[in-house]
Each structure stands twice: as C-alpha cells, then as structure tokens.
Amino acid sequence: MSTPKPDLEALILGVTRSPAIDGGCVDEVWELVLDAVLAGLKVQRASGWMLGEGRGRLCCVALRDQRAGAVMHESATLAREANPAYFAAIDTERALLAHDAMNDPRTAEFRDSYLKPRSISALLDVPVRFHGEMVGIICCEHVGGVREWRSEEGAFVAALADVVGRALTAESAVRAEAALRENNAMLERRIAERTRELQDALTHLMDTRDQLIAREKVAVIGDISPKVAHDINTPLGNAVTAASTLQERLDELRGAFASGKLTRSSFADFTSHADEALSLLVSNLNRAKRLVHDFMRTAVDQISEARDRFALSETLDALLASLRPVTKHVPVTPVLDCPATLVVDGYAGVIAQIVTNLVVNSCRHGFGSQADPTITITVTCDGETVRLVYADNGCGIPPQLHQRVFEPFFTTQRAAGGTGLGLSIVHNLVHGRLGGTIALRSSPGEGVHFTIEFPRVLPVGP
C-alpha cells in the first residue's frame, strides 16, 4: 500500500496562519517553516541560512534533523569566495534543484566539506529574499541516494521562503518602530530638558529685566532728586530769610515796648514789614510744598505697581511738574494736551515711568544746540483706546536705527553716560504692562515722534 502524498497547500496554509509571521518573530517562523519542509518533502534534514555582514558568507541559523528529533543549531558556514557557482545560482534562480548534489556543478564545490560528512545526496535550496535581494536560503537535504525533485516541491519551498521573507519584513518594521519609539522618547526627553532650560533662562531673563527696570526707575529718580532738592532749597532759603527778618523786627518791637519807646508809627511800620515777610514766607513754603508733593507723587507712582482708576491729565500734570528741575536746564517746558475727563483703569506708575523716560531721554540726548526746544504730549481717546503722542523737535534718529533704539543696552551716547535702557524699558512697559503698541517716526534734524496706544481699561490678568 503506497504512502499518501502530503498536502503541500495545506501545509503552507497552516504556516501562513501563524501570528508569528507578521509579529516579526523570525526564529519561531524558521521552526514552522522547517517543520513544514520535513512534513511536505519527507527529507531527513532542513535548515535555514542567512547571509552574514558583507554578504560574503552564509551561516546556518536553524536546523531540523529527523534523526535528532528537534530544532538544532549548527555552526556551518559557506563562503561566497570558495563556492562561486553555488552563490551565482542562488543569487539569480528561484529554486536550485540539485537531484545529484555530489556531481551537480553548482553544489559539488562543497561536496567534501559539507555533503559527504552528512551523507547528503540531493539538495533543494530556495533563496529567501528581502527587498528583492537574496538574504538567506531554505536548504532541503535528502539523504540516501539521488532524488528527482518535482517542480511542485520547488514551488512549495519557494512559498515557504516567501513566508520567511515576510517575517523578515515584519521584524524590520518592528525594529524600526521600536527604534522610532526610542528616538521619540529620547527626543521628548531632550525637548523636556531643553524646555526646562529655556524656561529657566526665560525666568532669569524676566528677573533680570525686572531688576533693570527697577534700577532704571531708581536711576531716573536719583537723577531728578538733586535738581528737585536744589529747587526746593531756593524757596526754603527765601522763607528762612523772611522768617529771620521778621524775628529781628519782632525783637526790636519788644525792646521798644519794654523801654516805653514804642510809638504808633513804629508799630505801624512793624506790621507793614510783618505782612510782607509773612506773605513771602507763606508763598515760598507753599512753593516748596508743591515741589515736594509733585516729586513724591511721581516717585511713588513710578515705583508702585498698584492698579487704580485715575485721571490721566492729573497724573501727567504732576509728573511734568516734578520734572521741571530736569527740563529747566535745557530749558524746555513740556506742553500737555490731555482731556481732563479721561479716566484710565490701569497702572499710573507705568505711564509715569514711560513719559519720564521719554522726557529725560529728550533732555539728555535730543536737543544739543537747539535754539528753541519743544516737547509736546498729546493724548486722545478713541473709544476704548488711548493714544499718547510724544514729540520733540530735537536732533532726531536716523531711520536705520529705529528698530535698534528699542534693544536693551543699545545707545549712541555711551561716552556721555547713556545706558541704552531707557527706550528698551519704554518698549517693554508699553507692550508688557499696558498691552499696547509703540511706533517711532523720526529723521535727523526733525525730532522724534512716538505714538503709544493702549487700552483705556487694562484687561484683567490671569
């Protein structure tokens, strides 16, 4: 009774149903494929081989031997250099059917080194291809004499070789996906580290900016303070002189009264001088009081960060009054045009700091030998947007420097003591604290023209 032929298609179908193929589990796929070869071809040995680095050597990666009854690993190798005919065949042919392997010119090259020691008489080798290139083989080894391989047997092993190629493709995809995940994780870590570094740098930058703004505020107030002190000393000196004169006349009156020489005319003369002295005293003390009040209000406003509702014209009037010790040395008298009814809900100190920096900048660097210096500040309100236009008729700024003047530490007057922070702070305060915009229009010899726009009611922060 003859042995029934194996159902080759069923064997192939059984292998292709394994999830190990698309899972990229190449070792498991080799076991399935070699078991199918043994079952389908009834050969004694089946092995899987893969090209090593450089594509110059085939190395056995899996071996199934019926006599051993298990999947084995053999350290056998075939070098391309020593077996050129064999490698030429498997590089180009779909299947190598060597019915008499000992004498076939394609396989006889390794007759003594491989075939005879293992008693292999016939070979059916099929290349495993990956991306179109031969990367390995399925080797079906018959022991016991010449064997005529049928074409369907070659097609069967070729189908199994395609399965191995599919598993190699899946393995490559799995590795690529794992590498991509690892690279993404590494990239995310680097991004997180870089973000932390940038956040730290931004925090440091913001802290430095706040320190620079605070220092500039103190510097401006410090620059004004000696001039304010000088202006206060003048009325105080007049008041002291008036008080001293009044004290002397009062002592004379007491002496005349004590000696009985007080006359109507001398008393009338004293009262006349007393009226003049008291009037001069009150006038100068009031003048000193106003100077102190305006200066203190400006200083407190500029240092304060408190939000409030305030009449903008009153804030600017007090500010410009406190700046008279600076402007009178030019001399220039800033002209303010601001609606008395305009009420702003925001930061009076920020606006005071902006205008102070602009005025001080004009007085320090803008006028030079200008015969008739002028500063004008014009405020309008269009709906909910306040527009403050600051202009002087000084030396102006070349167009190529319009953007640079807002850069920190940029100044053309460093030799004269310029810090390069004034307009940079103005820009930051307008954009950052007021949520507004600032634009510069200027040409050499035509002064400067700053247009500042900001909300009348500052939006509530987070």
Tell me what pLDDT residue 282 has: 72
Instruction: Determine the Cα–Cα distance for residues 126 and 49; give it in Å rounded to an integer.
Output: 10
- Write out the two tokens for 288: 């000193």
The residue whose two tokens read 């050597």 is 57
- At 213 the pLDDT is 57
> What DSSP string runs through 46-65?
EEEEEE-GGG-EEEEEEEEE
Provide the residue ranges of all domains of the chain, joining segments of one domain with +: 8-177, 305-462
d(CA 340, CA 352): 17
Distance CA 457, CA 347 (A): 10
Return the CATH number of the domain spanning residue range 305-462: 3.30.565.10
Which regions of 290-444 does DSSP assign to beta strands (E)? 308-311, 335-337, 343-346, 375-382, 385-392, 437-442
Residue in this structure with the two tokens 């401006």, named with its chain if needed: 220
Q: What are phi and psi of 72, to 5 degrees?
A: -120, 165
**In this predicted structure, what is the pLDDT of residue 270?**
76
pLDDT in 10s for each residue of the chain, 462 residues: 455 678 999 999 999 999 999 999 999 999 999 999 999 999 999 999 999 878 889 999 999 988 765 545 567 899 999 999 999 999 999 999 999 999 999 999 999 999 999 999 999 999 999 988 999 999 999 998 899 999 999 999 999 999 999 999 999 999 988 888 888 888 888 888 888 887 887 777 766 666 665 555 555 555 555 555 555 666 677 766 767 777 777 777 787 777 877 787 777 777 877 777 677 677 667 666 655 554 554 444 444 467 889 999 999 999 999 889 889 888 999 999 999 999 999 999 899 999 998 998 898 888 877 789 999 999 999 989 999 999 999 999 898 888 788 887 666 664 454 555 678 888 988 998 899 999 999 999 899 999 999 999 998 764
Instruction: Provide the H-helix boundaries in 260-395.
Output: 264-303, 312-322, 324-327, 348-361
388: left (phi over 0), alpha (psi -120 to 50) or beta: beta
Residue with tokens 């030998």: 369
Contacts of 301 (CB under 8 A, 6+ apart): 315, 319, 348, 349, 352
Specify the pairing of strand 308-311 against strand 335-337.
Answer: unpaired
Q: Which phi and psi (to 5°) does residue 242 adopt?
A: -60, -45
Which residues touch 215 (CB under 8 Å, ≥6 apart)? none
Alpha carbon distance 363, 386 (integer Å): 25
Nearest alpha-carbon partner for 41 in 132, 166, 152, 153: 153
Q: What is the DSSP string of 77-124?
A: EEETTT-HHHHHHHHH-S-EEETTTTT-TTTGGGIIIIIHHHTEEEEE
Helix axes 312-322, 348-361, angle to 10 degrees: 40
Rounded to whole angstroms, the Cα distance separating 406 from 422 reads 8
Residue with tokens 């005319």: 265
Query: How far apart (Å, rounded) are the C-alpha atoms in residues 158 and 95?
Result: 7
pLDDT for 4: 66
Spatial distance between the Cα atoms of 273 and 390, rounded to a whole number of angstroms? 48
Q: Collect all residues with Cβ–Cβ distance below 8 Å to 271 and sequence separation of at least 6.
A: none
Instruction: Select from 129, 62, 142 the least CA-distant residue to 99.
Output: 142
By the 8 A CB rule, do 115 and 107 touch?
yes
| Residues 6 or more apart in contact with residue 187 via CB below 8 angstroms | none
* Phi, psi of 377, rounded to the nearest 5 degrees: -125, 115
Task: Count Cβ neighbours within 10 Å for each residue of 353-374 and write b for 16 or more, e otherwise.
Answer: bbbbbbbbbbbbbbbeebeebb
Q: Which amino acid is at 90?
A: I
Indicate the class that CATH gives domain 8-177. Answer: alpha beta
All residues at 6 or more sequence positions from 193 whose CB lies less than 8 Å from its CB, including other chains: none
Residue 442 dihedral angles phi and psi, to the nearest 5°: -165, 150
> What DSSP state is assigned to residue 2?
P
Contact 375/327 with Cβ under 8 angstroms? yes
Whole-number Å distance between alpha carbons of 343 and 457? 9
CA-to-CA distance for 238 and 378, rounded, in angstroms?
36
